Amino acid sequence: MTFISDSRFHRQLLLVNGLLPAVFIVFDHWRGELGANPVEFVTRATGVLALIFMVLTLLVTPLRKLFGWNWLLKQRRLIGLYAFFYGVAHLLTYIAGDRDWQLLSVPDDVLKRPFIAVGMISFLLMVPLAATSTNAMIKKMGGKRWNQLHRLTYLIAIGGVVHYYMIVKSDITYPLAFAIAVGLLLAYRLAVQIRKVA
């Protein structure tokens, strides 16, 4: 088996590349190179990374079905876990940088700022997916129930895009690009369902 079709090689490639942005952020923080507002930089970077990995998880099924790239399926869990990893980093940066570790001020902020509420809901929806990502949990829940639960991915991606859109003030280019990507990936799934019923 060549390394191109070796799933262990794919996993290692993904492990290293998924971790690289975090390593660069930590390294730049250590060098004091995160710009004038490091908290804002890290919050934004981790937020975008969480959303990118969410979109990548949604990309796996269409790529498998359209191009027969079935090897991607084995990597989907790790891609999803990276979305969760950057989501946790995003939340921690918010709690440390924005809330100054005052955890009791978080519920107040959720009620005051709607974009925080949307982000928080999206993040909380990620928790059951991460918690049920092990083989043992898939076995315990059964494939059908597990797949149903993991459709929450759609809501998380939509929530992430709405959260992003609510933050930007004038230039909506990036949230719009994510909205188009998520829209196309969900439209693909809808089209497959409609074809199945018809």
Q: Looking at 25, 42, 50, 72, which residue binds ligand HEM (CB under 6 A)?
A: 50
Q: Which of residues 77-136 bind ligand HEM (CB under 6 A)?
A: 87, 90-91, 94, 98, 116, 119-120, 122-123
181 binds ligand HEM (CB under 6 A): no
Element (H, E) at 181: helix 173-197
Q: Looking at 28, 40, 64, 165, which residue binds ligand HEM (CB under 6 A)?
A: 40
Among residues 75 and 122, whose Cβ is nearest to ligand HEM?
122
Instruction: State the minimum distance, in angstroms, from the CB of residue 64 to ligand HEM.
Output: 23
Q: Which of residues 136-165 bind ligand HEM (CB under 6 A)?
A: 156, 160, 163-164
In order, the DSSP letters of 14-58 are HHHHHHHHHHHHHHHHHHT-S-S-HHHHHHHHHHHHHHHHHHHHH
Candidates 159, 152, 31; CA nearest to 80 is 152
Element (H, E) at 167: helix 152-167
Instruction: State the minimum distance, in angstroms, from the CB of residue 20 to ligand HEM.
Output: 18
Angle (CA) 144-153-155 rounded to 5° is 115
Burial class (CB in 10 A: 0-12, 13-18, 19+), 70: exposed
Among residues 6 and 28, whose Cβ is nearest to ligand HEM?
28
**Where do contacts with ligand HEM occur on this chain (CB under 6 A)?**
40, 43-44, 47-48, 50-51, 54, 87, 90-91, 94, 98, 116, 119-120, 122-123, 156, 160, 163-164, 167
